[in-house]
Amino acid sequence: MILEKKELKIGWLYPTLMSTYGDRGNVICIQKRCQWRNIAVSIIPLEQKTDPQLFQEVDLIVGGGAQDRQQEIVMRDLKGAKAEAFKAKIETGTPGVFTCGSPQLLGHYYEPALGQKIEGLGILDLVSKHPGIKARRCIGNVVFEVTAEPLAQDLKLMLGKTPIVVGFENHGGRTYLGQVEPFGKVIKGYGNNGEDGWEGAFYHNAIATYSHGPLLPKNPFLADWLIIQALQQKYQQTISLTKLDDTVAFQARQAMFNKLELAHIDN
C-alpha cells in the first residue's frame, strides 16, 4: 500500500499588519511540527490584495494581534467575499488559532481607545472595548485551565491530565462573552477582561485567546490538536500523530510555573 503524503495549507491572516509579540511563532510551530512528521506545509498569507478564493482553500487559519490602528485597517478590509469565505470556513469547522486583535475582529465589534467603534465579523458572540488610553493594559504571563468542550476532553486524553495553558498577554481591550464558550478559566493573569475569570473563546474548532505567539510552542499539545483537526477535516479519516520530544517545552512551562508560584500544577 502506498501511503499518500499529507499536506496542510495554513492561512495566515494579514501577516504584515497583524503579528505582534511573537505571533509568528504560532505559524512556525505548526509548520515545524508538521514537517517533523513528514506532513507538507504551505503558508498562505491572506492579505489586503488576496483573492477571496484563496480564503476558501486553506486547511487551518492563524491570526495574530495588532495595534489598534493596524487592526482597524484589517477590520475595514475584511468585508464582502473575503469575510463570507472566512466565516464559512469557521462555521464548517476549519480549525484556527486567533490571538488578541484577531478575536476582537471575530466578535461583534471593537471599541478602540481612540476613535469610533469598528464593526467585527460577528462570528463569535463577544464584544471588545478599550476603556481608554489612561486605563491600565493587561500585560504579563497568564496561566489558565482549558475548559471548552470537546477540546478539554481531547487534550485530557492526549496528556493524561488536566490541560493547563501557559501564555503571555498584552492588551488594552477587554472582551466580554455572550453565548460563546470560553476557551479556559484563568488561574493567573487577566484573561478576557480581568473581571470575570474567563480566557478566550472557543467556537467549532476555532480557538480565540489573548495569549500571544509563544502560545503553541509553549503548549505544543494545542498545536497538535489543531493539526489533527485540520487533517481529519481534509482527509475525512481518523488521524493520530507520531509523538515528538517536547521535553524542552515542558521544562520551559515548569520554569514559568515556578516563577509564578504555581509549582504545584501538574505539568
Q: Which sequence positions are flagged as catalytic?
A: 100, 212
Return the C-alpha torsion angle 18, 193, 78, 9, nearest 10. 60
Strand pairing category for 126-129 and 109-111:
parallel
Taking the mean position of all CA atoms in its chain, how far away is CA 113? 23
- Using CB under 6 A, which of 25, 65, 200, 220 touches ligand GLN? 65
**Would you count residue 68 as binding ligand GLN (CB under 6 A)?**
yes
Residues 152-181, interacting with ligand GLN (CB under 6 A): 170-173
**Would you count residue 94 as binding ligand GLN (CB under 6 A)?**
no
Distance of closest approach, residue 202 Cβ to ligand GLN, in angstroms: 19
- Using CB under 6 A, which of 74, 100, 187, 249 touches ligand GLN? 100
**Would you count residue 66 as binding ligand GLN (CB under 6 A)?**
yes
Stretch that binds ligand GLN, among 1-9, 29-37, 67-75, 159-167 (CB under 6 A): 67-75
The CB-nearest residue to ligand GLN is 65
**Would you count residue 209 as binding ligand GLN (CB under 6 A)?**
no
Buried b (16+ CB within 10 A) or exposed e, 168-190: bbbbbbbbebeebbbbbebbbbb
Whole-angstrom Cα distance, residue 188 to residue 144?
7
Name the residue nearer to ligand GLN (CB basis): 31 or 192.
192
- Side-chain half-sphere CA neighbours of 6 within 13 A: 22
Q: Do 141 and 168 touch, CB atoms closer than 8 A? A: yes
Name the residue nearer to ligand GLN (CB basis): 39 or 124.
124
Residues 115-154, interacting with ligand GLN (CB under 6 A): 130
**Would you count residue 101 as binding ligand GLN (CB under 6 A)?**
yes
**Overall size of the chain counted in residues:** 267
Task: Note the residues at the interface with ligand GLN (CB under 6 A).
Answer: 20, 65-68, 71, 100-101, 130, 170-173
